[in-house]
Structure 1
Amino acid sequence: MISPAVKLVVIDDDPTGSQTVHGCLLLMQWDVETLKLGIADDSPLMFILANTRALDPERAAETTRAVCRNLKTALAAMGVADYLLVSRSDSTLRGHYPLETDVIAQEMGPIDAHFLVPAFLEGGRLTRDSVHYLNGVPVHETEFARDSVFAYRHSYLPAYVEEKTGGRIPAEAVERLVLGDIRGECLQERLMALQDNRSVVVDAEVQDDLDRFARVLLRSVERGKRFLLRSAASVLTALADLPPQPVPAEAMASFVRGGRPGAVIVGSHVRKTTEQLERLLQEPGTAGIAVEVERLLAGGEAARAELLTEVNAAVAAAHARGETPVVYTSRRELTFPDVQTRLAFGETVSGLLMAVERHLPETIGYLVSKGGITSNDTLSRGLTLRTARLLGQILPGCSVVRTPADHPDFPDLPVVLFPGNVGAKEALAVVYRRLSRSAKK
């Protein structure tokens, strides 16, 4: 569907936005030369993993601004004038909005409109009459709306925009594209009339709604409109219009190195992840290894070093027994005096998990990273990758990438990027079973 002349550039606030596509490059760095690799790649889309959801607002703005300035330089150097920008974020409305779209519009503008398209149909998130739902429940009634960093009060998207912009964009000023508009005959005229960075919210109940919206959006871009999307992943499927992934989800064990057991790293703390973790640990061949993060609160560097030594020893012992170590952060919810302290402690915990990853046995067959921020850190800090090629999905919403053949420690390692809020209770166990098939032959 996407015109060869239009490059789809996705600035992702964690590494899970590629969860509905395949074959493209994920960029863990955003210097000009790395960005040129993504622009020159044959795939119609590219992902820049900015990981801003893990940052405080000031650092998120600085990172987004740096990405945009280098992107502008790279696009100009490659002679690319027609592109569509996507600020990919969470389908449950958590993230630095409107901060990121404001910065992108300032740096890459002028922008005629920015669209909120949070539908993630593969995960049960849809939008009807401008209200966003998770499995039939308005998202403001779910645990995600009570997030310690990105809490909100509204599922009605115009009210959400007003809330998050502090009234700068009142609800009545938000353009609504409801299902009747998406499925009607006048959508093209509506999009062509947009200007001055109008805020627009978009309904979608089924993939065909997003397909219709994407076709009209791309025609508008080709006719000179400059748009920005703030979206979940499902609309990317419509925009990229890719063929089926070459290796089916059920056959992903073919990528496992030597048919050997792997390793699982769990950082996400949402209830869904905890349920999936409990189910995974019932699977034969797994070895649960809890990381008692409470010890990091006041123990300093000595506590960190002691904890890392203990976890690494447990991982090595499990691997030597032919088991798959499942390393997970302790499940008790901690409280903090403010958001900045919460984010800083999250970075400390993630740093410890990445140190565990760097010490994993080099003979593991695969790696599963559970949690969006954890997955981003796995790629950029644990495996220290510059780019990675996306193989496809092992489950709806769960991507698989592979490290380069010349990686110094883990060449050709398949890595599952598993968002914290995706999948049924059995999902993590299903991924484990699919990847373990070759090991059981």
Structure 2
Amino acid sequence: MTRPKIIVLDDDPTGSQTVHSCLLLMQWDVETLRLGLQDDAPIFFVLTNTRSLTPEKAADVTREACQNLKQALDLENIQDFLVVSRSDSTLRGHYPIETDVIASELGAFDAHFLTPAFFEGGRTTRDSVHYLKVDGVETPVHETEFAQDSVFGYSHSYLPDYVAEKTEGRIPAEQVERFLLAEIRQGVLERLLHLHDNQCCVVDAETQADLNRFAADILAAADQGKRFLFRSAASLLTALAALPAQAIAPEAMAQYVRNSKPGAVIVGSHVQKTTEQLQHLLEQPGIVGVQVEVSRLLAPDREEARSHLLAEILEQTNAIYADGKTSVVYTSRHELTFDDAQTRLDFGEAVSGLLMDVLQNLPNAIGFLISKGGITSNDTLSTGLALRTAWLLGQVLPGVSMVRTAADHPQFPNLPIVLFPGNVGDATALATVYQRLAQSLT
């Protein structure tokens, strides 16, 4: 069986959180996409960062990426491929906008599958209901803070109803194909072979073994000519790529730290889990916090306020590094309210722009960088470090990736960067990652 190339359009850079040894592309021009298609790894990621964009911009970016991808596939003479629209496992994102655009540009597809299960983050799907483990208790996601998101909120955990809600009735709940646990564990190849006309399907999964079995049937159906599209969290990618263990164990990744030097941590995410993790991190020896009071960016003279704020932060981060410690630059924890989603997104861009200026002015010799939050991590790679591509080393903690810059990066060569999603891990997870890297510090 020929294994298709797995092409992941990732709406923030955390979708690679279950795989390793592959490329992340921060640009999607034809030549950069060809690098991903030429790479020996079975999978690569295109970091479109569309979750931080308006619906219109998200559609435009996805369309541009798909049109360029179509050219790159032709130039590389690749016919066998699977497309994954990777998004958040708590159902936040531009669905169905992105899958609609992908289908119009790269179709025709026989089906598109919603597979939001993400086991490393405590997300499972049973009887088509998506759950998140909160304090050890399985909770339907519509009862969690994520469903109240001011941009991507929703009312249903039962995935057919979620589809109907998000498509505004274009795909009624009763027309959604449900792939239930018992069926998946028995095998669903025959069902897959009978799908057509971009049928919407939702997929149960409680364990990685469930998705492994499902992925095997998907690949078998693809080998028989079926064309599928996925709206997925990261765990399905593990099953589709079927990679061996990563080269260096998560506990030993301190060996990537440059010259045993202290590092820096940038925290943009403001979800409750991040706040808890931040509190534990700030208690660690060798850590010094630098709070960014983002409300100062609302001052009438925003540029002047921004300039003063940046200068204050850099003075502190330079002094912390000179003292042999690791600075944690974090946004103030209270979430501001705005009149509309566009204003919130614009302010988020302003905050991220400030954080990226901080990053670009960090001491060049830092040993490592930890970026906390999906959008923050995307901006770290594409804007703060101005990367075209990055190499994914693997996971330093379940669901938490480490990448490395190229040896010829003009400011931070061979810098290991941890991409830490906002809503992954227990309360001590961020401190644990720091501890693993700090093992190498002198």
SS at 2:394 equivalent: strand
Is 1:201 the counterpart of 2:202 in the alignment? yes
Whole-angstrom distance in 1 between the partners of 2:30 and 2:158: 39
SS at 1:422 equivalent: coil
Whole-angstrom distance in 1 between the partners of 2:59 and 2:312: 37
Aligned positions of 1:13-412 closer than 5 A: 13-135=11-133, 136-185=138-187, 187-298=188-299, 299-412=301-414
SS at 1:438 equivalent: coil
Q: Which runs of 5+ in 1 are unaligned?
A: none
Shift of 1:25: 0.2
Whole-angstrom distance in 1 between the partners of 2:429 and 2:16: 18
Shift of 1:311: 0.6
SS at 2:423 equivalent: coil
Q: What does residue 418 of structure 1 align with? A: 420
- 8 Å contact kept, 2:205–2:211: yes
Whole-angstrom distance in 1 between the partners of 2:425 and 2:207: 18
Per-residue CA distance 1:187-238 (angstroms, 9 max, x = gap): 1111111111110000000111000100000111111111000000001000
Give the counterpart letter for 1:253 in structure 2.
A
Per-residue CA distance 1:390-424 (angstroms, 9 max, x = gap): 00000000000000000000000000000000000
Report sequence identity in percent.
Answer: 66
Per-residue CA distance 1:141-176 (angstroms, 9 max, x = gap): 000000111000000000000000001100000000
4+ residue segments displaced more than 6 Å: none
Mean Cα displacement is larger for which, 298-307 or 334-343? 298-307
Whole-angstrom distance in 1 between the partners of 2:52 and 2:227: 28
SS at 1:205 equivalent: coil
Aligned length: 437
Shift of 1:5: 4.4
Shift of 1:184: 1.7
RMSD: 0.7
- 8 Å contact kept, 2:163–2:173: yes
Shift of 1:271: 0.1
Give the counterpart letter for 1:30 in structure 2.
W
Whole-angstrom distance in 2 between the partners of 1:182 and 1:4: 22
SS at 1:115 equivalent: strand
Whole-angstrom distance in 1 between the partners of 2:186 and 2:429: 37
Shift of 1:29: 0.3
Shift of 1:4: 4.9
Give the counterpart letter for 1:157 in structure 2.
L
Whole-angstrom distance in 2 between the partners of 1:221 and 1:418: 33
Give the counterpart letter for 1:226 in structure 2.
R
Q: Using a 3 Å threshold, how does the CA distance of structure 1 residues 255 and 338 change in structure 2: closer, same or farther?
A: same
Whole-angstrom distance in 2 between the partners of 1:300 and 1:426: 36
Give the counterpart letter for 1:281 in structure 2.
L
Shift of 1:332: 1.0
Per-residue CA distance 1:120-148 (angstroms, 9 max, x = gap): 01111000000000011000000000011
TM-score under structure 2 normalisation?
Answer: 0.98
